[in-house]
Amino acid sequence: MTSVSALPHAMRRLIGCRAGSTAIEFAALGPIFVLLMLFVFQFATALQAYSSMVGAAADLQRTVTTSDQSGNTPTTTTIQNQAIAAATSKPYYLKAANLAVTVSTPSTQRISGAKEYAVTMTYSVPVMAMPSMKSFKFSFKRSVFVKSGG
């Protein structure tokens, strides 16, 4: 009879005991919190890289325009090299190994008296949170216009 009367007392004692509850709660929620922080850092890295591509494309437009006004008619190769140089130098510091730049001339020009170049920058952002996924790519496209005829 003592074992039956002792059981409710032992249960009450275990239910009322709070020792170790913090460790159990952290074990349950800690990995979720760490994974959430990794996703926040991943999103911030991707957003910074995209912002860098947008800024580098704006710098490219200024560089191409001023060199064209100096009498240096740009080619698709020089525009591509200038885009890579702008994106990989300060203040953007994108990794050249992760950056791909293509420059093309559209068949129909939208503005008379100007030559249009379509510049597409593609950047591979390394993935930190999911090891099975090595990187994801995103692109930014911008048209660069220069005065026709140099």
Contact 122, 94 (CB under 8 A): no
| pLDDT given at position 55 | 96
- The pLDDT value recorded for residue 4 is 55
What are the φ and ψ backbone dihedral angles of 93, each rounded to 5 degrees?
55, 40
Assign 110 to helix, strand or coil: coil
pLDDT at 91: 95
Q: What is the dihedral of CA 115, 121, 64, 85, to 10 degrees?
A: -160
Residues of the chain with pLDDT under 70: 1-7, 14, 16, 149-150
**Under 8 Å between Cβ of 149 and 114:** no
Structure tokens at 86: 């702008």
| Torsional class of 20: left (φ above 0), alpha (ψ -120 to 50), beta (otherwise) | left
Q: Which amino acid is at 48?
A: Q
